[in-house]
Amino acid sequence: MGDTMAADDTAPMPLPTILAVDDDPGNLGVLGRLLHRDYDVLAAPSGERALQIAAGVPKPDLILLDVMMPGMDGYAVLAALRDNPATRDIPVIFVTGLNSPEDEARGLELGAVDYIAKPYNPAIVLARVRTHLELKHARDWLANQNVYLETELARREATLHSVTGAARDAIIMIDDQGRIAFWNPAAESMFGYPAAEALGRELHPLLAPAHYQAAAAQGLAQFRRSGTGAAVGKTLELEALHKDGKEFPVEISFAAIRRAESWWGVAIVRDITARKAVDEQLAQAQSQLLQADKLAAIGQLAAGVAHEINNPIGFVSSNMTSLESYVADILALLDAFEAAATAGPTGPTSAAALAKAQAMKQEKDLGFLRADLGQLIAESHDGLQRVRKIVEDLKGFAHAEDASWKWADLHSGLESTLNMVKNELKYHCTVHKEYGEMPQVWCVPAQLNQVFMNLLVNAGQAIEGKGNIHLTTGQQGKEVFIAIADTGIGIPPQIQQRLFDPFFTTKPVGKGTGLGLSVSNSIVQKHHGRIELHSEVGKGTTFTVWLPITQEQVQDAVPPAPTVP
């Protein structure tokens, strides 16, 4: 602001002034202690006193206003502030224990810039105060520049162009009709329009893709009326339109400026094409990490899976040997009876041939062959079915590209995973299932099976000697849970804090990569869920996976009916 007023560059900048309004002295004390290091804090115990202070000197830069107060409540104070030209531009953040959408909507409609819920979270209070002071500072600065333009237009333009010309982000101002009033060189480079071609044109038809046009028109109408809107005071990621017709991703921060009796807007736009490319690379790296963890798990379980396949293959092979012998006996019998039939119905040759066939039938025990043949075939079918199921489960678990979201039965995923780790557990662990009613969940099933795999293998490895693993599932509200508890050695408290760190492991070489729990936690967080841990040394450990039934992108969808195995 050096071009708008004479000032000593060495003089310290005055601290921003914040007015805290609350009828509870305790709350005022908390806010005062929290803010006094970085701000000048004024306190008002009532709405009436708050209006007096706000209209006086020093003028507050920001007001933290309690809603529920005797006499004049926060809504009435805000309305009075907005009716007074001297105070209408002071940003007001409501501080309240009310948290209903209706209360929040009412406050925002009256002109509040934000809500802070009680009891106070210091980090949230400081962050929001800082953000809205920065926005106010931007609004005040732009307002001062506009006033100065009216008297010293040439000097102001030179200063403004020197500042914005050096900016790497596009800086765009629109007037109260939605027309472009300022367009810096970065905007020229970003969108392909020279300033002479962009100034005076409507912003949204020029830069917004077709699928944003309807929402943009509605938002502009609201902004022109009240200076508010879905984008005001926020940073959003959207798509923008280049002059050549190509869409590209941008990050937009938009602020409202009160000029005379109308609302103007300033947008700072950043091209995030390169950042999106990096995000895509990170996503690919994450996918590769997931696959590496899958292959590591399969490597650890390979011997057990081979054993589970070899068992049925072994008895199928044995049955085939028996079947081969049985078929040879049956064919010999057929040959004997065919010879008897060929000898004719009467005569000594016929009688001898028939007697020979009957003797062979007795010798081969045709009744036994007939009974055992069916049993051998049934056992072989069962063995081959077991092999097919193991191979299908292994293939589904190892598939690298199966990352699609769908409704899935987690009980089915658990059973499939148990089939994979069966040999790892069956010799020293007894698995107890306590499945509750659980609806299908919108998820990436293959990734959740990976989580179950890691937790089940960990549970088995935590048990020294013989022990038990308990699987418990169910639903609470809009979430489902899968608890995997073991009677193993437990996890010391000092180690629990590091369990989800990448590459951290307490297992001996060859027993783990240190990726399992880290990858599992990442997968569950991607599903907007959480993993809870409870462990006692010497008693065992329980990992509980909590997952939302649906996700934000399918909130209106109805999940399939609940299942109980």
* Percentage of residues in the chain having pLDDT higher than 90: 30
Confidence of residue 7 (pLDDT cuts 50, 70, 90): very low
Instruction: Decide if pLDDT at 179 tops 60.
Output: yes
Instruction: Decide if pLDDT at 515 tops 80.
Output: no
State residue 35's pLDDT score. Answer: 93
State residue 317's pLDDT score. Answer: 76
Which segment, 4-13, 354-363, 538-547, is predicted with the most confidence on average? 538-547
Decide: 448 and 527 in contact? Cβ < 8 Å: yes
Handedness of CA 373, 378, 383, 387 (dihedral sign): positive
Residues 6+ apart with CB under 8 A from 321: none
Helix (H, G, I), strand (E, B) or coil at 246: coil
Query: What mean pLDDT comes out for the span 79-100?
Result: 88
Q: pLDDT tens digit string along 348-365?
A: 556 777 777 777 777 777
Residues 6+ apart with CB under 8 A from 72: 46, 47, 48, 80
Length of the chain: 565
State how far the Cα of 398 lies from the Cα of 295, in Å rounded to an integer. Answer: 7
Q: pLDDT tens digit string along 434-492?
A: 999 999 999 988 889 888 988 998 898 889 889 999 999 999 999 999 999 999 989 88
- List C-alpha distances in Å: 285 to 209, 227, 325, 405, 519: 31, 43, 56, 19, 12
Confidence of residue 278 (pLDDT cuts 50, 70, 90): confident
pTM, two decimal places: 0.41
Please provide the average confidence, as pLDDT, over all residues in the chain: 81
State residue 400's pLDDT score. Answer: 45
Better-scored residue on pLDDT, 8 or 244: 244
Q: In 375-390, which positions are buried (b, 16+ CB within 10 angstroms) versus exposed (e)? A: ebeeebeebeebbeeb
300: closest CA among 118, 462, 509, 493? Answer: 509
Residues 6+ apart with CB under 8 A from 396: 402, 416, 446, 449
State residue 129's pLDDT score. Answer: 93
State how far the Cα of 48 lies from the Cα of 59, in Å rounded to an integer. Answer: 16
State residue 559's pLDDT score. Answer: 54
The mean-pLDDT minimum among 72-86, 309-323, 423-437 falls in: 309-323
Query: What mean pLDDT comes out for the span 53-78?
Result: 92
> Which amino acid, one-letter code, is at 431?
V
287: closest CA among 400, 446, 449? Answer: 400
129: closest CA among 44, 84, 65? Answer: 65
Better-scored residue on pLDDT, 505 or 263: 263
Query: What mean pLDDT comes out for the span 304-316?
Result: 64
State how far the Cα of 255 lies from the Cα of 307, in Å rounded to an integer. Answer: 66
Q: pLDDT tens digit string along 216-273?
A: 888 888 888 888 887 788 888 888 999 998 999 999 888 888 887 888 988 889 999 8
Which segment, 161-170, 381-390, 498-507, is predicted with the most confidence on average? 161-170
Tell me the backbone φ, ψ of residue 37, rounded to 5 degrees.
-65, -35
Task: Specify the pairing of strand 114-117 against strand 170-174.
Answer: unpaired
Residues 6+ apart with CB under 8 A from 432: 468, 469, 470, 471
* Percentage of residues in the chain having pLDDT higher than 70: 81
Better-scored residue on pLDDT, 409 or 564: 409
The mean-pLDDT minimum among 29-43, 121-135, 303-317, 368-382 falls in: 303-317
